[in-house]
Amino acid sequence: MPELGRSAYLTSFESQRPALERGAGSASPLFLSLHISEEFSPDYCIRAEEICRWLREKGYRIIGDVSTKTVDQFGQPDLVGLAEAFGLWALRIDYGFSQAEIAALARRIPVVLNASTTSPDFAGELLRSGGQVMAMHNFYPRPETGLDDSFFRETTHALQAAGLRVLAFIPGDEELRGPLHLGLPTLERHRGLPPSVCFADLAVNFGIREIFVGDPGVSSRKLQRIQRFCREGVLEIPALLEGEYTSLYGRVFTRRVDSPAGLIRFVESRTYSCFGGAVEPGKCEARRRGSVTLDNSRYGRYSGELQLTLRDLPADERVNVIGHVEERFLPLADCVQRGGSFALTPAC
């Protein structure tokens, strides 16, 4: 199952502390940059050490983002000394290090390479030489600079084929990191989308198993959706259902393995078809993408069949439209795999 990681920043840590307190435990991974120039201050080193100590006590595995200037900034003899002093689990190598230096470091502590620029051959050599190596894609604060799908897929698959775990970022939806406050996604098309949508997309469509929220804040409801997917494998899809069909909210459904590409057929349709006898025809309108539909009595023995459309379909007098998936959550429907579990929830 995929795993959710968080990010913490010295300048926003106090506002993040309550959420990090709630999400602590189970060796949760956390990304912490130790070389953001705008965060430097006279007490920077002291605060960074205090924050790392607090995070370790709460059970977080800290990935420290470092550069060549980090060692001098903290007055440590080398990066291993820095990791030991601050209790870092792994070091994310940003820039300024030679391949020989990275190879020597990887034999002593887990190292996280830049997934967007690292050679799969070099990464594979590190692994074969006994190094502890992963790769993490960047996040991109400036609009229009995030990765496109094809480049992301190509680089990710190449590194995974070389044996590496690949990590990536999704944006938050509450407190967004400055100075631009426009989200911190790896993929550009994720900018502005709900975190639960981005998380499912990376996990299902790209095979990413460790996904970090780049921004300081993610709303509790979106966080709950992500955590349920991680814990139970159930994708929650917010939808607006017609009054008498709100009883379907919260029920766990399964996509039939023989569903066509443009349609999700509910395995449990017959089990849950308890709508008070025959399903009368009503609202037999065009079934636009994201429509939740129910076959009515005109379909004979198929009456009561539930479906979710993944493409536009014409109106059919035998099919009632009983709800719709909210536009911004439509990509979640595309993430429901054949045989996968999902639940319709109120849109909020």
* Residue numbers of the domain that contains 312: 238-346
Helices 120-128 and 149-161: crossing angle in degrees, nearest 10, is 30
Query: How far is C-alpha 229 from the geometric centre of its chain's CA atoms?
Result: 10
Of 232, 259, 284, the last residue of a domain is: 232
Both 66 and 105 in one domain: the answer is yes
Number of domains present in the structure of the chain:
2
CATH number of the domain bearing residue 65: 3.20.20.70
Both 197 and 315 in one domain: the answer is no
Q: What is the pLDDT along the chain (348 residues), one digit of tens a residue?
A: 889 999 999 888 999 998 898 876 666 899 998 876 556 666 888 888 999 999 999 999 999 998 877 877 888 888 899 899 999 999 998 667 888 889 889 999 999 999 988 999 989 888 888 888 999 999 999 999 999 999 999 999 999 999 999 999 999 999 999 889 999 999 999 999 999 999 999 999 999 999 999 999 899 899 999 999 999 999 999 999 998 899 999 999 999 999 999 999 999 986 655 555 678 999 999 999 999 999 999 998 889 999 999 999 999 999 999 999 999 999 999 999 999 999 999 987
63, β-bridge pairs: 31, 90
pTM, 2 dp:
0.92
Is residue 161 a contact partner of residue 205, using CB atoms and an 8 Å limit?
no
Return the residue matching tokens 């409801």: 221
